[in-house]
Amino acid sequence: MKCPYCGAESKVIESRHTEDDSIRRRRECIACAKRFNTFERLEVPPLIVVKKDGRREIFDRNKVLGGVLKATEKRPVSLDDIERLVDEVERDLRNSLEREVPSVAIGERVMDRLRFLDGVAYVRFASVYREFKDVNEFREQLEQLLKSR
């Protein structure tokens, strides 16, 4: 890193992690001995969600969290378990190395995890996500859940 005062090279004196997952580095110029700070942040490329109608939007973790919270409402599921589920889904999506992900893939990942976390929450989420039209579709989903257990 070049010194902002004289343009010479600098050395790192101290490094610390900050609350926002960046790294604060205290540096000293080798030539003029002045000190300054730099911050390093991991640059994560945006993840684009392709909706059913073809629209594209930036992935919003809070939307996934909101859907899972509604599905688990009044269920014995801890907030830590919900956060972990959403973290796992986001990590899977980012690790897939795809820059564009269909919304269907996100919903399927959430349902796969909800199935093991809480059966009722799974059926609630599936009924909204899969847009059940009648009771038969709902019953079929319940039968599949029971068979898998």
pLDDT digits (tens, 9 = 90+) for 123-140: 888 877 777 676 777 677
Q: pLDDT at residue 11 above 80?
A: yes
Q: Would you put residue 110 in left (φ > 0), alpha (ψ -120 to 50) or beta?
A: alpha
CA 105, CA 128: separation in Å to the nearest integer?
Answer: 15
Mean pLDDT, residues 102-124: 91
> Residue 37: how many CA atoms within 13 Å on its side-chain side?
8
Q: How far, in Å, CA of 82 to CA of 59, rounded?
A: 18
CA 54 from chain centre, in angstroms, equals 22
pTM of the model: 0.66
**C-beta of residue 30 within 8 angstroms of C-beta of residue 11:** yes
- Quick check: 52 and 33 in contact, CB under 8 A? no
Residue 83 predicted with pLDDT over 90: yes
Residue type, 136: N
Mean pLDDT, rounded, for 38-60: 91
CA 114, CA 134: separation in Å to the nearest integer? Answer: 22
DSSP 130: T
pLDDT surpassing 90 at residue 42: no
